[in-house]
Structure 1
Amino acid sequence: MRIYYCILLIVIMLLGCKKDATKDNGDFAFLGGEIINPIDDFIIISKSKQNIDTIKLDGNNRFIFKLSNLEAGLFSFNLRSPFGLEYQVVLLEPKDSIMLRLNTLEFDESLVYTGKGAKKNNYLIEEFLKYEIEEKRIFKFCQLNPADYQKEIDSLKDNKLRKLEKFKSKYETSDLFNKIAHANIEYTYYFNKEIYPFVHYGGNKSKILQALPEDFYNYRKDVNYNDSSLKNYFNYHNFLRSSFNNMALTQHYKHTNTDHFKSIDVCYNLDRLALIDSVITNSEIKEELLHHYTISFLNRNRNLDNNYKIIDFYTNKSSNNDGKEMIVRYAKALNNLKIGTKFPEVKLIDTNNSETSVDAIINSPTVICFWSQKYYDHFKESQHKIRELNIKYPEVKFVIINIDDYDLDSTIKALKRNRFSLKNQYLFKNPKQSKDDLAIYPMTKAFIVDKNQKIVNSKANIFEKNFEEQLLGLINR
C-alpha cells in the first residue's frame, strides 16, 4: 500500500509540474510526506522564521504542498509530537519533489526522505544526528591540553570532509548544497574551538587563553559573520554566539583587574554587545544577537544601574522598534517583581476547567514553575524534579503553570501521556499578557513566594545547587 501511495504521489507531482508549466514562470518544488502518530492534523512550513503556510494532513496523515516562485534554501517544517513542538530543516531547490516520512515518537531518528532532492537531505539529517552524539565527546576532549584537543577535533573534521567528498563524487550536487554541507563542517569545527576556554576546567580563563597557540583562532579573519543565507542554520547560529562569547572574553581581560571570569559582569556584557555592533552589519543577525544577550543579562542581573547600562546600549544600537519595546516591557516587568513585592494577580485555569487566580491558591510557602510543550526536555525534567521536591518538602506548595496558548485538553493530554499528576497544574487564562507580566524567560525560571504572597526570589531555578537551601530558608521565615 505504501509503495502504491509513493508511486501515485510521484505521478501527481509530475502531472502537477506539467500542468502548471504554462502558468508558473517561477521556480517551484514539491514537499510531501506521511506523519506517523501525529498530535495535530497539520504541519507548518516556514523559512527564515516566517510562516509560509499551514498544511492539513489528509485522512491517512499525509500531505503534499507546492512551493511556487521558490527561492532555494533551507525551509523548516514544524509540528507537535508527544514530547512538544518539534522542527527540522529541509533543503529545497528548483524542481525538487521530496517526500518525507517520520514518526513523532522518534522525530529526528525516524526522519527519512525519498524522491528528487532526497539524497542531499538524508545526508544532512544523518550529519545532524551524528553531531548530537559527537557533542558529548567534544566536552570530554575540552579537558585535554590545547595541542591534543586540536588533534582530536582536526581528526573529526577530516573524517567529515572525506565523507562529503565521497558523497559529491557519487552524486551530482548543487553549489548551494556544497556551501551548506561545507559550512556545516566548518562552523561545527569553529564552534568546537570557540567553546574550549569556557568548557576547559579551571576558573582562571585568562590563563587558559594565554596557553593557547598563537594561531588557534586564525580562522576568524576568513569567517563571514554576516552570511544571510546561513543566518537561521543551527551550526552557524551556535558558532556566532560562542565566538562573540569568546572574543568578548579576550577584550574583557584587556581592562579587568581580575583573572577570574564572571559571565554576569556588566563590563564583559558591554564588551560583547560592542563587538557585535562593530562586527555584524546584517541587521537580522545583529538584532538577534543583541536582543538575546540583552534579555539574558536582564534576567540574571539584580543591579538596576547595570540593567540601565545594558538597556541604553541596546536601544541605541538596535533598529528594531518592536524589539526595543519588548526589552523595555521586560525590564519594567522585572522591576515590578522585586523581592518583597506582592506576586501579581494572574488569572489561571485549573485542570477541571475552572477559573481561579494565583492569590486564591497561595496560602503557604510556594514555588511557582512553568512549562511549555515547545521544550519537552525541560517539561519532563522539571516535572520529575518537582515530584521529588514535593516529597522532601511537604510544607511547600508547588504550582505548575503551562504557558502555551493551547486549549486545556491539549495540556491535560500532555501530562497524562507522560504520566504526570494533574495536582496543582494550571494554565494561564491570558497567556500573552501573563507571560509579559511575569517576564518568563528563560523556561527554567521559577518564583519563590512566602505564605503572604510576597516574592522571595523572582529568578529562582529548581535545578540550581542552592535551590533547596532557599526552600529551607522559605520554610523557616
Structure 2
Amino acid sequence: MTKKITLFLQILFLTTLISCNSGNKEATTYFGGKIINPKTNHVILYSMDKVIDTFLLNTENKFIGKVNIVNEGLYYFIHGDENQHIYLEPEDSLMLRLNTWDFDESLVFAGKGAERNNILVDCFLENEKERKFFYKFNKSESNVFKGKVDSLMLIKLDTYNDYVRNHPEETSDFNEILKITLTYPTFARIEKYPMIYAKYSENGSFPDMDTSFYDYRNDIQINKGHLMYYPPYSQYIRNYLYNETYALGHAPMKSEYSSKFTLDLMHTIDKKITSKNSKNAFLKQTVISHFYNKSSCTINYEAFDAFFKLSTNDKDLKLIKNLVSDSKAVVMSEKLPDFKITDYTNAKHSISEIIKYKSAFLFFWSPEFVSENYMASRFKYLSKTYPNIKFIEIKIDGDKNDRIKNLDIKTQFYLDEKSDAHHFLSSKMPRSILIDKNGKVINGFASISSYNLHPFLKKLDKK
C-alpha cells in the first residue's frame, strides 16, 4: 500500500535540496520540496490554524527552510487552493515533490520522515477510491452494508499492524494518527449510512439496524481537540453528531434541515463536545452551512440565538452577527439598492445600469472563503445551464490585478472601499443575490453550491 519511491529519485531529490546541510550536526528540522506547475510563488506551513512559516519558491520552483518543531505532530501545507497534511518530528528532513495538475496523486516524499508521510498520503488516496466502492452499498440493507464494512476494516487493521510491526521506531503518537487515518473514514461512512439509505429508499425511511451496528463507538474518543483540523477525524465527528441528532426522533431530511433539527444539532454539539475550540468550530460550521444550504435570506432566529448563547469565540460571534445584519439589509421583492462596481480597466459602473431589464445573478466573493478554481468551474456550468441569466462576479475586497483567469473578464468586477454594497457585505462572506428583469430581489442570500438554489434559477431563467 505504501507508495514506492525509487532510490534514484530519493538520491537526486535530496542531493539537490539538502546536501549543503549534510555537515550540520545541530538538531534542525527541514521542510522543502519541488512544485511542478506551481499555482503561486510560495508554500505555507500550518499547525492547526496558526501559520508556522511561508516558503518562497526559487527560479527552479524549489523551496527549503528550517522549521521550529518542538513537538511531533500533524501539520499541513497549502499551495494555491490545495492542501495536504504531513506528520513532522524534530530533526526530520522532509522533502516533497508534486505536480499541481494532479496534486494528491503526484505527491511523494523523500528524506527523513518520508515513509510515515507516504503511507498517510496512500491512506488518503485509498479513501477517495472507497467513495465509489460504497456508493452502491449505501443503498443495501444494514446487514449487507455492515458485512462489507467489517471486511474492509480487517484489511485496514492488517495494513496498520503490518506497518507498526515493520517500523518499531515509530512513536505511539504517530501510530495513533495512522490508525485514525486508516479507520475513521470508514467509521464516518457507518455514521452517514442511515441518512444516505433513507435518501434512496422507496419510502424515505431509515434502515433497520441491529443493536451491534455502532459497537465500534466504544473504542472512539470524540474529544481530541488537537485533531479538529484533521479531515479523517473531524469528518467522523461531524457525521456522528448528525446521526446522534437524528436519533432524537427527526425524520430523514433530503433538501434542507428543519429549524428544529438545526437547533437540536447545536445542543448535541454543546452536550457531546467538551473541547472549547472544537465546540466553537462545529457550532460556527453548523449555523453557517445550514443557513447557506437553505439558500434564502429567511433567518432561523432560534438557531442563531442558540449560537450566540453557546459559542464563546468573540471573532465568530462578530462574524455571525454581521451575517444576520447583512441578510436583513436586502429585502425580498423590493428593488436592490444601487451601488457602484469597478471593472478591470478601473472604470466604475452603476449596478442598476449593468443589470437593467435583465435577469441577473450577482455573486459577491472573497478569496478567503471561495477558491477561484471552484468559482470558474461552477459559473461555467451555471451560465451554460441557465443561458437567460446574466451572471456577474464581484470581488468584495478588490484588487484590479487579481481576477479569475478562466472566466470572462467582462463579467468580473470588484468593489472599492467607498461602494455602498459594503453595507450588506459586512461579514465579507460569499453572497449571491438574484434579480429579476424588473430589478427586484427574488433571493437575497443564495449559495452557489446549494441544491436549493436551482428552483430559483429555473424560475428566473424562464422570465
1:303 positional shift: 8.8
Deviation (angstroms), 1:89: 1.1
Deviation at 1:334, TM superposition (A): 1.0
The correspondence for 2:349, drawn from 356, 374, 379, is 356
Which secondary structure does the structure 2 equivalent of 1:195 belong to?
A: helix
2:15 corresponds to: 7
Unaligned runs of 5+ in 2: 1-7
**Corresponding residue to 1:411 among 403, 408, 419:** 403
C-alpha distance in 2 between matches for 1:159 and 1:366: 52
Tell me how large the CA RMSD over aligned residues is. Answer: 3.1
Out of 235, 238, 253, the residue aligned to residue 238 of structure 1 is 235
> Are residues 1:337 and 2:337 paired?
no
User: In structure 2, what is the Cα distance between the partners aligned to 1:66 and 1:467?
Assistant: 47
Aligned identity (percent) is 29
Instruction: Please tell me whether the aligned partners of residues 263 and 269 of structure 1 are also in contact (alpha carbons under 8 angstroms).
Output: no
3-state SS of paired residue (1:166): helix
2:306 alignment counterpart? 313
- Note if contact 1:194-1:242 (Cα within 8 Å) is conserved in structure 2: yes
- CA offset digits 1:360-410 (Å, max 9, x no partner): 41202212235676536632432322331454x2xx32213355x574444
Aligned 8 A contact 2:223 2:275 in 1: yes
For residue 173 of structure 1, report the CA deviation from its aligned partner.
Answer: 2.0
Secondary structure in structure 2 of the residue aligned to 1:213: coil
The alpha-carbon deviation at position 161 of structure 1 amounts to 1.7
- The number of residue pairs the alignment matches comes to 448
- Partner of residue 457, structure 1: 443
- The CA distance in 2 between the partners of 1:331 and 1:79, in whole Å, is 33
Q: Does 1:126 align with 2:113?
A: no
User: Are the counterparts in 2 of residues 301 and 307 from structure 1 also a CA contact under 8 Å?
Assistant: no
Counterpart CA distance in 2 for 1:462 and 1:43 is 28
Deviation sequence 1:17-73 (CA, Å, 0-9, x none): x2x45xxxxxx5210111112132211111101112211122222111211242211
Structure 2 distance, partners of 1:57, 1:113, is: 17
Residue 429 of structure 1, aligned match among 396, 416, 427: 416
Question: Aligned pair in 2 of structure 1 residues 472, 72: CA closer, same or farther (>3 Å)?
Answer: closer
Deviates more, 1:426-435 or 1:64-73: 426-435
Q: Summarize deviations over 1:303-342 as a string: whole Å, max 9, x none.
A: 96x7221122111111111111111110111122231233
Quick check: 1:197 aligned with 2:194?
yes
Instruction: Work out whether 1:72 is the aligned partner of 2:72.
Output: yes
- CA distance in 1 between partners of 2:154 and 2:420 (Å): 50
2:432 pairs with 1:446: yes
* Aligned residue in 1 for 2:363: 369
Counterparts in 2 of 1:313 and 1:5: CA distance versus 1, 3 Å: closer
Classify 1:248/1:120 alpha carbon distance in 2 versus 1 (closer, same or farther; 3 Å): same
TM-superposed CA distance for 1:262, in Å, is 7.2
Of 141, 159, 162, which aligns to 1:163? 159
The 8 Å contact of residues 204 and 261 in structure 1, kept in 2 or not, is answered as: no
How many Å separate the matches in 2 of 1:360 and 1:213? 62
Q: Which amino acid aligns with 1:208?
A: F
Q: What is aligned with 1:86?
A: 82
Q: 1:463 and 1:165, CA in 2 relative to 1: closer, same or farther beyond 3 A?
A: closer
Superposed displacement of residue 237, structure 1? 0.9
Alpha-carbon spacing, 1:431–1:311, altered in 2? closer, same or farther (3 Å): farther
Change (3 A) 1:390 1:195: closer
Map 1:30-179 onto structure 2 (within 5 A): 30-80=30-80, 85-171=81-167, 172-179=169-176
* AA of the residue aligned to 1:411: R
Q: CA deviation at 1:104?
A: 1.5
Per the TM alignment, residue 265 of structure 1 is displaced from its structure 2 partner at its CA by 1.4
| CA–CA separation in structure 1 for the residues paired with 2:462 and 2:14 | 66
1:447 Cα deviation (Å)? 2.1
Scaled by the length of structure 2, the TM-score of the pair is 0.86
**One of 282, 292, 316 as aligned partner of 1:289:** 282
What is the SS of the residue equivalent to 2:300?
Answer: helix
Report Cα offsets for 1:253-302 as digits up to 9, x if no partner: 4xxxx677774212211111111101111011100111111122333276
Q: Where does structure 1 lack aligned partners over 5 or more consecutive residues?
A: 22-27
Tell me the distance in 2 between the aligned counterparts of 1:100 and 1:177: 19
Normalised by the size of structure 1, how large is the TM-score? Answer: 0.84
